């Protein structure tokens, strides 16, 4: 992706600070755009992710990491603009449709309902006394519900803990215990696996399915519907299995006022994949995320007219930073279908103006294009 900002000199991206080099060590390097001092909050009035959504300001011009010429484009001003998009799946035709969009206004309401529902479950099902700073696990591919969970946890000062979809049962058990997860929110394909190890997930009392558990078809005579079977299994494990929309309904019926976080409060525990020993959880605060998202705008200044495709795993911090950066600038986020091999088709339909990527994926795209063209 080309750098749009002329302040960034690609031939001199960092400066070594004087008198910081020691024998056998390198010196301390700092971004060449702001060599004199670290800029903590580049955009005024945005110090947490809650601010980013509620009071976000679009920096049309950024100079020395400090936003100037700001024009307010908060969620309230862009309430009717498309925010989160996805391609709905039709089980009858086994096809995906064109992108459908939810507005900033819609997501604002859904995050409040879902967050209120989480607090209601914590009080009446989990029966825990603390109302803030407890952890919520997420196992799912990129999709609108992911951001709704993030937004809900931000609004009520809860801590999200993403788990890789490829994790085995032993690692899921370790992270669930280590992070003291009370609730795990997941796509329906992971529900059976979680229930199979529920006896080992001592802290987890609630599993929330992002998908409808019923297939919508009448079960055959003598059989039990998938939804009934899964919920019966969950009851046997002393776990409440509930659908995402049911939690939203609970929250709508039992609304709670927002409990905005402070910059120093934890936003997420970002665990490593565990390839060398047990996974390690990095403690990421709201301040960390705000600085990273605002800093990304130095190299990729977005506008409210931009459209970004979200496909980089949200269990990785890079993918989440980019989704929140798009939120900061009131841009639109379109989620891929979940299959990287079909990403080019999603891109063709979405026509994104922002395409964050990594070298490994670019090599795959290059190989696929080459196989279909010059090597065909």
Of 11-15, 274-278, 343-347, the range with the lowest mean pLDDT is 274-278
Stretch 62-72: mean pLDDT: 33
Q: What is the pLDDT of residues 157-208, one digit of tens each?
A: 999 999 988 888 999 999 999 999 999 999 999 999 999 999 999 899 999 9
Q: Residue 223: pLDDT above 60?
A: no
Structure tokens at 326: 């798009």
Q: Residue 70: pLDDT above 70?
A: no
Q: What is the pLDDT of residues 236-282, one digit of tens each?
A: 999 999 999 999 999 999 999 999 999 999 999 999 876 678 889 99
Neighbour-count burial of 47, counting CB atoms closer than 10 A to its CB (0-12 exposed, 13-18 middle, 19+ buried):
buried
Mean model confidence pLDDT for the chain: 86
In a domain, 374, yes or no: no
Q: Residue 219: pLDDT above 90?
A: no
In a domain, 188, yes or no: yes
CB atoms within 10 A of CB 236: 10
In a domain, 155, yes or no: yes
Domains: count for the chain: 1
Domain that holds residue 205: 82-337
In a domain, 119, yes or no: yes
The confidence score (pLDDT) of residue 107 equals 96
In a domain, 22, yes or no: no
In a domain, 7, yes or no: no
Domain of 159: which CATH number?
3.40.50.12780
In a domain, 63, yes or no: no
Q: Residue 366: pLDDT above 90?
A: no
Angle at 208 between CA 203 and CA 212, to 5 degrees: 160
Stretch 309-327: mean pLDDT: 94
In a domain, 345, yes or no: no
CA dist 286 and 49 (Å) reads: 6
């Amino acid at each position: 992706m080309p750098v749009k900002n002329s302040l960034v000199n690609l031939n001199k991206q960092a400066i070594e600070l004087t008198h910081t080099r020691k024998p056998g060590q390198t010196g301390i390097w700092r971004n060449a755009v702001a060599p004199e001092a670290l800029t903590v909050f580049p955009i005024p009035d945005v110090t947490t992710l809650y601010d980013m959504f509620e009071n976000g300001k679009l920096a049309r011009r950024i100079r020395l990491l400090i936003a100037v010429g700001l024009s307010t484009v908060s969620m309230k001003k862009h309430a009717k603009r498309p925010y989160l998009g996805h391609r709905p799946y039709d089980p009858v035709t086994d096809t995906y449709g064109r992108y459908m969009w939810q507005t900033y206004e819609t997501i604002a309401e859904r995050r409040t309902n879902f967050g209120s529902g989480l607090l209601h479950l914590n009080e009446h099902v989990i029966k825990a006394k603390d109302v803030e700073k407890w952890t919520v696990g997420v196992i799912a591919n990129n999709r609108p519900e992911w951001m709704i969970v993030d937004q809900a946890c931000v609004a009520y000062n809860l801590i999200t803990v993403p788990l890789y979809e490829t994790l085995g049962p032993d690692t899921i058990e370790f992270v669930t215990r280590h992070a003291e997860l009370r609730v795990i929110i997941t796509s329906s394909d992971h529900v059976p696996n979680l229930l199979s190890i529920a006896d080992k997930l001592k802290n987890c009392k609630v599993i929330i399915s992002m998908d409808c558990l019923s297939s919508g078809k009448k079960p055959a005579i003598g059989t039990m519907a998938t939804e009934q079977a899964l919920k019966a299994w969950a009851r046997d494990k002393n776990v409440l299995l509930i659908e995402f929309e049911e939690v939203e309904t609970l929250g709508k019926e039992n609304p709670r006022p927002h409990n905005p976080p402070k910059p120093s409060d934890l936003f997420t525990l970002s665990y490593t994949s565990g390839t060398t020993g047990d996974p390690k959880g990095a403690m990421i605060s709201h301040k960390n995320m705000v600085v990273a998202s605002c800093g990304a705008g130095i190299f990729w200044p977005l506008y409210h007219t931009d459209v970004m495709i979200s496909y980089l795993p949200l269990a990785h911090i890079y993918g989440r930073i980019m989704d929140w950066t798009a939120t900061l600038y009131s841009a639109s986020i379109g989620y891929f279908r979940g299959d990287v091999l079909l990403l080019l088709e999603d891109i063709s339909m979405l026509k994104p103006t922002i395409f964050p990527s990594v070298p490994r994926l670019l090599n795959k795209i290059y190989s696929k294009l080459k196989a279909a063209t010059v090597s065909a």
